[in-house]
Amino acid sequence: MSRTRKVITVVSFVALSAGSSIAQTPSNQVAKGPAPKASASNSTTKTTTASLVDLNTASKQALMTLPGITETNAQKIIENRPYKSKADLTQKKVISPDAYAKIEARINVKTTTRVSPGNVEKKAASSKGQSEVQKKQ
């Protein structure tokens, strides 16, 4: 090896060694040890929020994942949309109060302007009736 190559190799080695030792100074060191754990209440809240089933938009399969909700119950829930509150399930007599008690913590209701498949005919009939009333006036 030529002398120039040896010098370049030595200088490179010294520069790399110095660079790695500078990077490990106490002000630049990363804390070692286990990462702090999230509190149980935070992780539970995130899980609960993520697993809530919206009565106004959930599919039949999603509704059937709720405890005590059969295919028939899920279809009734879809057909009686929209819901303004969770309590509408028992007020409209879609499910029994016992079944409601089992799922109350796992459902929510978001108001929506979307028409669900179960109410397409109802919505069309009501809008047709309104347009005929407007024409008569």
Residue 135 pLDDT > 60? no
User: Pick from 112, 118, 111, 100: which is nearest to 59 by CA?
Assistant: 118
What pLDDT band is residue 30 in, cutting at 50, 70 and 90? low
pLDDT recorded at residue 87: 93
Q: What confidence tier does 43 reach under pLDDT thresholds 50, 70, 90? A: very low
The answer to whether residue 137 scores a pLDDT higher than 90 is: no
What pLDDT does residue 111 have? 78
d(CA 87, CA 96): 11
pTM, 2 dp: 0.48
- Are 108 and 52 in contact, with CB atoms under 8 Å apart? yes
pLDDT one-digit tens code per residue, 61-101: 999 999 999 999 999 999 999 999 999 999 999 999 999 99
Percentage of the chain exceeding pLDDT 90: 42
From the list 111, 99, 91, the residue with the least C-alpha distance to 72 is 99
| Amino acid, single-letter form, for residue 120 | V
Among the ranges given (42-46, 71-75, 117-121, 133-137), the one the predictor scored with the smallest mean pLDDT: 42-46
Cα–Cα distance between 137 and 135 in angstroms, integer? 5
Whole-number Å distance between alpha carbons of 37 and 33: 12
Q: What percent of the chain has pLDDT over 70?
A: 53
